[in-house]
């Protein structure tokens, strides 16, 4: 388990062939408590992926610091695109992040069954639909039992039933193996269903427009009407969500 102190003094992307320089973050602070399920909401192109990349240690070109309390956490990152190895089977892709050996193979197989892909274990990723590839990527992220789970719009392009199943699986996994979760989505209903805290980001450079604690019970989270009511109370209901945006 890990608490994270995020302080980004400055992050910009330099001007490149046509695109002007962009300042994404300036003096941005966010503290994440251990075991928190933090959902980040924000418009497209705002800097959410950039933030996750910085936290994951993939982007070091910023001023500031990311502090983890205690030992460096085991990080799993479900990227915005699946990023599977096309030349390895589904099972090999999942087992890749575990120590080699039959134990890892078994754990990977069990996790694939959990995400509903048991029968595709020996297929190659390019023969899977995008939704199935996403589920493989999720299995890979879950199977390593991370302390910190970064998820970048992991449930898009899934039908409602699969998305709900995976949300349930995610909840179950976190109960089995507590983790701090940073979860990016455009869907505020999904945010309310999962989060213990919702942060809405806005503007260039990014600032925190809203920071809401979510204290809903299991039954309330299962009720769309209740979630909608919560969102309007919290000022997080999106008008564009009604017209099917994002």
Partner 1 sequence: MSTASRLLMSALSLLALMLVWQVAAWWAASPLLPGPAAVLAAMMRAAEGGALQRNIAITLARVAASFIIAMLLGSAIGIALGRSPRLNELLGPWVIVLLNLPALVIIILCYVWFGLTEAAAITAVSINKIPNVAVTMREGAAALSRDLDEMARVYRLGRWKLLRHVTLPQLVPFFTASARSGLALTWKIVLVVELLGRSNGVGFELQTAFQMFDVALVLAYALAFTAVVQLIEIGLLQPWERRVNRWRR
The minimum distance between CB 89 and ligand ATP, in angstroms, equals 29
The minimum distance between CB 6 and ligand ATP, in angstroms, equals 14
The minimum distance between CB 16 and ligand ATP, in angstroms, equals 6
The sign one gets for the Cα dihedral 184, 188, 194, 197 is positive
Report the alpha-carbon distance of residue 118 to residue 110 in Å, rounded.
8
x-or-dash string of contact with partner 1, 27-66, rule CB under 8 A? --------------------------x--xxx--------
- Give the containing element (helix H, strand E) for 113: helix 102-114
Among left, alpha and beta (phi > 0; psi -120 to 50; other), residue 70 is left
x-or-dash string of contact with partner 1, 110-139, rule CB under 8 A? --------------x-xx------------
What's the gap between Cα 194 and its chain centre? 11
Tokens of 14: 């330099």
The minimum distance between CB 125 and Mg ion, in angstroms, equals 21
Q: Does 76 bind partner 1 (CB under 8 A)?
A: yes
Tokens of 151: 């998820």
What's the gap between Cα 43 and its chain centre? 15
> Which 140-179 positions form the footprint of partner 1 (CB under 8 A)?
140, 144
Nearer to ligand ATP by C-beta: 80 or 105?
80
The sign one gets for the Cα dihedral 38, 47, 154, 148 is negative
Binding residues for partner 1, rule: CB under 8 A, are 53, 56-58, 75-77, 79, 81, 83, 85-88, 92, 96-97, 124, 126-127, 140, 144
């Amino acid at each position: 388990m890990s608490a994270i102190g995020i302080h980004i003094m400055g992050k910009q992307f330099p001007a490149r062939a046509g695109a002007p320089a962009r300042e994404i973050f300036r003096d941005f602070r966010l503290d994440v408590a251990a075991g928190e399920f933090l959902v980040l909401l924000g418009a497209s192109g705002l800097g959410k992926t950039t933030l996750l990349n910085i936290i994951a240690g993939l982007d070091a070109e910023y001023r500031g610091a990311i502090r983890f309390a205690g030992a460096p956490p085991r990080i799993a990152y479900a990227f915005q695109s699946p990023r599977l190895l096309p030349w390895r089977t589904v099972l090999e892709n999942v087992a890749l992040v575990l120590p080699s050996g039959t134990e890892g193979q078994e754990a990977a197989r069990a996790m694939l069954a959990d995400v509903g892909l048991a029968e595709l274990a020996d297929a190659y990723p390019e023969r899977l639909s995008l939704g199935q590839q996403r589920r493989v990527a999720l299995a890979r992220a879950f199977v390593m039992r991370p302390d910190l789970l970064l998820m970048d719009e992991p449930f898009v392009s899934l039908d409602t039933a699969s998305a709900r199943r995976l949300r349930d699986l995610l909840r179950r996994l976190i109960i089995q193996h507590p983790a701090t979760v940073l979860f990016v989505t455009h869907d505020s209903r999904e945010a309310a269903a999962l989060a213990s805290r919702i942060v809405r980001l806005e503007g260039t450079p990014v600032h925190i427009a809203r920071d809401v604690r979510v204290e809903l019970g299991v039954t309330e989270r299962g009720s769309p009407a209740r979630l909608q009511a919560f969102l309007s109370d919290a000022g997080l209901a999106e008008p564009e969500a009604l017209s099917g945006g994002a």
